[in-house]
Structure 1
């Protein structure tokens, strides 16, 4: 059995981990949705998440250096968690922006073609988002004369909408007395050029109403050939008869294929967007810095208490995973309940639960006998661990760190915008919390057998599995249309996060000497939950704006498959060979299975007939790492 200074030493640590991850699970899954409910846009959310993630990477080196230099791990852990709690509470006091969308005024004017109100939130007329690549169908209805003042047009024959071509013209009679009378034609709206007219009297437009501003800017789109009517091409449109000083205007409907096409909405803004953005960014950056520092310091205490990074480290995360499985739906339910009562988004229950649990965690850290820092006792013989003379950097280490960054990018993208997507599907907050329940309940048995998974499957292979499961998860989520279909894809987070993290930690620690274990642990956390998360937020927001949510998810799925298979090829063709001593034959396998016949080989395989749930002595792990490093 493993003897890491007695299994009982890890009990206080796992209790602290349980309460810390309970606090994390009650708040962090809802932060991106909170930003949306605060009135922040997708682009602003991406910027804030990126800036907060990059700023948070300063925390672990700062708090970690002070903790190591002065042996103040507990003190710095409590300080960082208190800072995080205060900052997250301050998010409740960031002023909210109320954005009220409405459809812009739009009409068809026979003299100027398509007129669309230019919204204040548009930078240019191109932001109308009507420039589709496919043929657009124009439906003209409720056509009428619009004359100045109360003057009524007096015409002797029905209205005609005429299409002019190089060889022939055609006029279609519009009979307003007919029910649902319409005139339709097709054209490529993307080719139509536009002019902008400022301070136009909105009462001149057909769709003007009480809520419309008195004077507006107009984007006037001019028709460009081809204009297709009855499969014949024309170049211009006109209407007749046209009395002097009058206009002929029609209500306009646009259709692309089977879908109705509408311009981007106008958004009425109440509040100060710049104040909200910068206040939220500053407070969130401090909060994330404190939280990631607390997680890293707790990792440091864990690492200093054992050298079994395959088994014991994974089992210390079981209670943490259980906390992440139980409490997010409870927190989400309370958010829904109090939001219904107040008739506006209310995230205070989640924040207050986080604060309470953070205080409990701090009290436990102070009261419980935790061995913090490298001055703690170790049951493994230090002679075995210190025999390794290799340095920190190697080709395998560079590849590992790059993979951790890329996996962090995928995690950052999906954690930032996945819950936005779920909200659009109609998920309530408790259903969003339930997705974490599914993910971490499924991870419990795999964390329990993490040592044997690492040894029998291999660290590098588990990282490849993470890429493949990310691909399936992204692709699957992009096709769902109802909330409950999220559950099977959320269960895949077991391999894309929980198992992946155990494999990455084990892999990283196997590549460096004992004296560098704290450094590699901090580095893994910074690269995945800091740099990777920040890049994932900004890149994800960019691709979602450019291609849409579903297409962006599918693109990342393809990228994940390609990168995972590429790394698998590179590892087994180059990196794995570099770990094997020269002139030593490759390991023999028993019956084609995962069990190695020799004592230790690359990628963490173990002895044949190794029991699936048994623990190895820590000294074996140290010897294995030493052998792998040679």
Structure 2
């Protein structure tokens, strides 16, 4: 009877348990943690998209590096103990876990910032013979006026310009605008007199009656150029430059002066009229300012009154850089642990290994600890993410300690455990080129699956928050996804070999359509849980299938690089693309915009599944089917020499044996 648990693999299972437990403690809460430090959703989307793109440096560098340093170690002719490369893989993986614990813990030290929504303060414009002034209301008590160096150039859109009498208290400027205008209805005889005596040209209001004229409309002059406000235009864009006030706001208003010479001349007729009403009148022109903060190229576009706590720019860049470095190490560790599973399970030409069972044991931690971390977060509202991040650090450090102390973990180089009694089974370099196109195709498929996975998981905590979900419920959602994955992974290799690798991928695209459709129409937390249960078909089986597929596509001497490829495709490139696509579709925070993103990606997943199904079963499968053939005599001779055959067992073929073809595995 086959041994249920391989004692040699217990420590590897414990490392995987610690690694996935640590990931589960923080992963459901990272999108919420970004918002908790005061960053907005746009900044969160940028971090979610850039971080996985940079994280690919970890597996892309460490995978080939370990393969290169392991060449010759532990081989029959190398003369070096097989523990040499095993120690290298253990130490590098442990270092990745330690750095992951360090950098994610540093996220707790990112300074907090707070930005209150800006109230659009009122803006007024006044101009007299001495100059022009822009006045902005201070929106909050104790606020300071906006400051900038030198002059700030732009345009100011104005309307309802009218003549009046200014005073030192700016009473008239602040008075509400009335419906009076500069348009005057005159008789034809008076029009001719006004035309002869007015120093300013008469302007006819086209579209109005011929008897309607604007007499001496207000002029706004800046830097030697004058503009005339015409009522029928209703909007005038005044180009000018403003100088920030030297002091703070007085009497709840900030006054900005123009940088260049400006004035608003008052014609004698208007001046005489104003003087008749008030002998002390200081003639001026005032205008109502339109859209001061939204006008294209507006001079006050960035001058809203805001209440800011901390430094938003410093907080963003600190979080951005720390998060980028933090994401590199668990991504690299995932690739190295995948290689460790492939090597330690001793998959040989005599039978398949137990890669899925190692992952199944680790998935148990992914099911247990996220809700516990979420419960701790709900119990500590003042610092909700302290316990999840500390739990992550503890699990990572325990896993690193096991790797460093266990010197008997079976992680020797592939050449040591691969059954090669003679040089007949040596892998030619042509094998890499032979399967290069297929490797690239599988890489692209896994990247697409990663994009669909990220489209859900990158912003799923926001969906739960929009449904009034708590941190505990976010952790339970991760448990719902991990629980069915454990038994599925336990029998994953037999299932994948029976169904076929490509059929697993096609099914995953179909289940993504179901998940997206369910999330698009979810009205309660229970529907989200149902959609999360389906992740066993879209992530768990997909991931073990990718590991098994690349295990056979990539030569054994490049085992670590081969396991780095699906990590780069799914959790780096795919995760980046999914965060970008889903972020662009859901530009606004409400739940309805997220549902729109889910509907669009659900349709895309269904289309990809249909295209993949047609291409594979109608074109690729018939052309690439390998004919059945008996194992070459060199292979049987080598196996018998190593005691690997009882005379009756028919071993599976060596994937990269030069004289055989891949026919046993269902690709």
TM-score > 0.5 by shorter chain: yes
Q: Which residue of 1 aligns with 2:103?
A: 87
Q: Which residue of 2 aligns with 1:7?
A: 6
Check if 1:478 corresponds to 2:542.
Answer: no
Check if 1:538 corresponds to 2:580.
Answer: yes
Deviations 1:548-598 (A, max 9, x none): 32212211111111112111111112222233246x7xxxxxxxxxxxxx9
For residues 401-420 of structure 1, the aligned pairs below 5 Å read 401-420=443-462
Q: Which residue of 2 aligns with 1:346?
A: 384
Change in Cα spacing, 1:151 to 1:377, as seen in structure 2 (3 Å) is closer
For residues 209-608 of structure 1, the aligned pairs below 5 Å read 268-306=307-345, 307=347, 312-339=354-381, 342=382, 345-368=383-406, 369-374=408-413, 378=417, 386=425, 390-392=431-433, 393-545=435-587, 548-581=593-626
Q: Looking at CA atoms only, which structure, 1 or 2, has the larger radius of gyration?
A: 2
Deviations 1:19-77 (A, max 9, x none): 11111111122111111111222222222233321222121243334544162111111
Distance across 2 between alignment mates of 1:213 and 1:452: 75
Give secondary structure in 2 for the equivalent of 1:545.
coil
User: Does the 8 A contact of 1:20 with 1:361 survive in 2?
Assistant: yes
Change in Cα spacing, 1:199 to 1:310, as seen in structure 2 (3 Å) is farther
Distance across 1 between alignment mates of 2:387 and 2:612: 44
Give secondary structure in 2 for the equivalent of 1:427.
coil
Give secondary structure in 2 for the equivalent of 1:95.
coil
User: Does the 8 A contact of 1:304 with 1:371 survive in 2?
Assistant: yes
Number of aligned residues: 495
Distance across 2 between alignment mates of 1:154 and 1:32: 50
Shift of 1:451: 2.1
Shift of 1:625: 7.8
Q: Which residue of 2 aligns with 1:179?
A: none
Distance across 2 between alignment mates of 1:151 and 1:555: 51
User: Does the 8 A contact of 1:301 with 1:373 survive in 2?
Assistant: no
Change in Cα spacing, 1:330 to 1:571, as seen in structure 2 (3 Å) is same
Shift of 1:445: 2.1
Shift of 1:514: 2.5
Shift of 1:364: 1.3
Q: Which residue of 2 aligns with 1:135?
A: none
Shift of 1:101: 2.5
Which stretch shows the higher mean deviation, 471-480 or 384-393? 384-393
Change in Cα spacing, 1:199 to 1:330, as seen in structure 2 (3 Å) is farther
Distance across 1 between alignment mates of 2:612 and 2:29: 33
Shift of 1:491: 0.7
Give 5+ residue unaligned stretches, structure 2: 71-84, 124-135, 140-145, 147-153, 155-170, 180-206, 209-233, 243-251, 257-283, 289-303, 632-647
Distance across 1 between alignment mates of 2:49 and 2:103: 17
Check if 1:32 corresponds to 2:48.
Answer: no
Give secondary structure in 1 for the equivalent of 2:111.
coil
User: Does the 8 A contact of 1:386 with 1:513 survive in 2?
Assistant: no
Pick aligned residue for 1:98 from 88, 92, 114: 114
User: Does the 8 A contact of 2:104 with 2:323 survive in 1?
Assistant: yes
User: Does the 8 A contact of 1:510 with 1:629 survive in 2?
Assistant: no
Give secondary structure in 1 for the equivalent of 2:112.
coil
User: Does the 8 A contact of 1:385 with 1:622 survive in 2?
Assistant: no
Distance across 2 between alignment mates of 1:83 and 1:511: 31
Normalising by the residue count of structure 2, what TM-score does the alignment of the two structures yield?
A: 0.64
Q: Which residue of 1 aligns with 2:55?
A: 56
Give secondary structure in 1 for the equivalent of 2:54.
helix
Change in Cα spacing, 1:364 to 1:274, as seen in structure 2 (3 Å) is same
Distance across 2 between alignment mates of 1:419 and 1:624: 42
Change in Cα spacing, 1:506 to 1:102, as seen in structure 2 (3 Å) is same
Shift of 1:383: 7.0
Give 5+ residue unaligned stretches, structure 1: 108-115, 126-146, 156-165, 168-191, 201-211, 217-244, 250-264, 585-597, 601-616
Deviations 1:111-133 (A, max 9, x none): xxxxx99999xxxx9xxxxxxxx
Distance across 2 between alignment mates of 1:539 and 1:194: 40
Normalising by the residue count of structure 1, what TM-score does the alignment of the two structures yield?
A: 0.67
Deviations 1:138-178 (A, max 9, x none): xxxxxxxxx958989999xxxxxxxxxx99xxxxxxxxxxx
Distance across 1 between alignment mates of 2:515 and 2:651: 37
User: Does the 8 A contact of 1:435 with 1:487 survive in 2?
Assistant: yes
RMSD across aligned C-alpha pairs, in angstroms? 4.8
User: Does the 8 A contact of 1:32 with 1:416 survive in 2?
Assistant: yes
Distance across 1 between alignment mates of 2:444 and 2:137: 48
Deviations 1:291-336 (A, max 9, x none): 1122222222111123279761111111221111110010011112
Deviations 1:537-556 (A, max 9, x none): 22322222289322122111
User: Does the 8 A contact of 1:305 with 1:376 survive in 2?
Assistant: no
Change in Cα spacing, 1:295 to 1:77, as seen in structure 2 (3 Å) is same
Pick aligned residue for 2:91 from 75, 82, 95: 75
Q: Which residue of 2 aligns with 1:177?
A: none
Give secondary structure in 2 for the equivalent of 1:297.
helix
Give secondary structure in 1 for the equivalent of 2:458.
helix
Deviations 1:492-520 (A, max 9, x none): 11111001111122222233333333322
